[in-house]
Amino acid sequence: MRKITVTMIALSIGLIGLGGCQKPTPVKEVTEPSKLEVTVSIVPQQYFVERIGGDRVAVNIMVLPGANHELYEPKPEQLRSLANSKVYFSIGQLPFEKTWSQRISTANQNLLIVDTSKGIELQPMKGHHHEGEEKGENHQEESLDPHIWLSPKLVKNQANTIYETLEKIDPKNVVEYRQNLENFIADIEKLDQEITDKFDGLTNRKFMVFHPNWGYFAKDYNLEMIAMEVDGKEPSPQELANLIKEGREENIKVVFTDPEFNTATAESLAKQIGAEVLLINPLAPNWLENMRETADKMYQSLTTK
């Protein structure tokens, strides 16, 4: 019995020794699939791309929150970050895009640049001109209005362009992109109908803004935008006098302006016509909710007596 016990102990020690000599089985690292890196011009486009691309995309934004999208100058590090992007989704008519297009292309020779305004009939940027007023001899032709992301109807076009691009550069995930697109389009159409119903039957359809961002929105819903800026400049004393006169005649109760603009002129005009100044943000990150909230503010301003 003692011999058996000694033998078993010896075997146990031998097995332990063998186990100690074996290399541990390596733990297999689980790596997440790399995301498709894309760049967009403005914050609302990030919302569009992420609604369609979902978790498969990583989005860089050129015009950072709070910056003026009309006059923006990309930072050097932003241009360098383009080296990792597969595609750049532009608005197509923003001034900084035109100014910096060559630098953007140079930053990444293989970068696919997609103009999301393709297939959209652009309208002139609306200033505040009264009937009978003549433009000066040195007046430049009106530029095209770039604010296509503020029209739910036009965002459907942009969404389809984004989907078609993702389908082209990442075809293996096209089924997911297609489903995401359909869900996004359904949300846009629901929003569009809500706003249409909200403004239906209004007798007062004129609203006043400092910067003429909302021309496409006004066109969508049969509203009339009165803009304070003329050709990107604050109104002259004569133009301001005309705005005050029109504001009183049209019983304007709210003057809308953007967070990135100085509100002093809007506040001065509002005070003289008995109105208040409200901020509406054309660059809010949650585009869908922002459009709904902006429509509510405009509706309240048009129904206030």
Look at residue 10 and tell me whether its pLDDT is greater than 60.
no
- As a whole-number percent, the residues of the chain with pLDDT over 70 amount to 84
**Confidence band of 33 (pLDDT split at 50, 70, 90):** low
Q: Is the pLDDT of residue 131 over 60?
A: no
- Mean pLDDT score of the chain, rounded to an integer? 86
Distance CA 228, CA 58 (A): 38
CA atoms 213, 280, 223, 132: torsion sign: negative
Looking at the DSSP bridge assignments, the partners of residue 179 are none
Angle between helices 43-53 and 174-199 (to 10 degrees): 130
What's the confidence (pLDDT) of residue 30?
A: 41
Task: For residues 192-204, give the mean pLDDT.
Answer: 96
Q: Cα 75–76–82 angle (5° rounding)?
A: 95
Which one has a higher pLDDT value, 270 or 76? 270
Say yes or no to pLDDT of 304 above 50: yes
* The pLDDT of residue 280: 97
| pLDDT at 77 (0 to 100) | 86
> What confidence tens digit (pLDDT) does each residue in 57-111 have?
999 999 887 777 777 888 888 888 888 999 999 999 898 898 888 888 888 889 9
Q: Do 36-118+143-194 and 201-303 agree at the fold level?
A: yes
| Both tokens assigned to 65 | 């929150």
What pLDDT is stored for residue 258 in this prediction? 93
pLDDT of residue 105: 86
Averaged pLDDT for residues 193-197:
98
Do β-strands 276-279 and 254-257 pair in parallel, antiparallel, or remain unpaired?
Answer: parallel
Span 135-156, average pLDDT: 78
Give just the sign of the alpha carbon dihedral 141, 142, 146, 151: negative
The pLDDT value recorded for residue 76 is: 86
Sequence ranges of the domains in the chain: 36-118+143-194, 201-303
Q: Are strands 254-257 and 206-209 parallel, antiparallel or unpaired?
A: parallel
Strands of 224-227's sheet in order across: 224-227, 206-209, 254-257, 276-279
The count of other CB atoms within 10 Å of the CB of residue 286 is: 12
Q: Are 294 and 198 in contact (CB under 8 A)?
A: no
Cα–Cα nearest to 86, from 162, 189, 24, 177: 162
Give the rounded percent of residues in the chain with a pLDDT score beyond 90: 67
Tell which residue, 36, 292, 284, 53, has the closest CA to residue 159.
53
Beta bridge partners of 276: 254
The confidence score (pLDDT) of residue 134 equals 42
Q: Please give the pLDDT value at position 62.
A: 92
Is the pLDDT score of 123 beyond 80? yes
What average pLDDT does this structure show over 195-222? 96
pLDDT at 289 over 80: yes
| Token representation of residue 288 | 């869908």
CATH of domain 36-118+143-194: 3.40.50.1980
Look at residue 11 in the predicted model and tell me its pLDDT. Answer: 41
Q: What is the pLDDT of residue 32?
A: 54
pLDDT for residue 19 is more than 50: no
For residues 123 and 4, the model is more confident at 123
For domain 201-303, is the CATH number 3.40.50.1980? yes
The DSSP symbol for 4 reads H
For 87-96, 103-112, 134-143, 182-191, which range has the lowest pLDDT when averaged over its residues? 134-143
* Averaged pLDDT, 41-50: 97
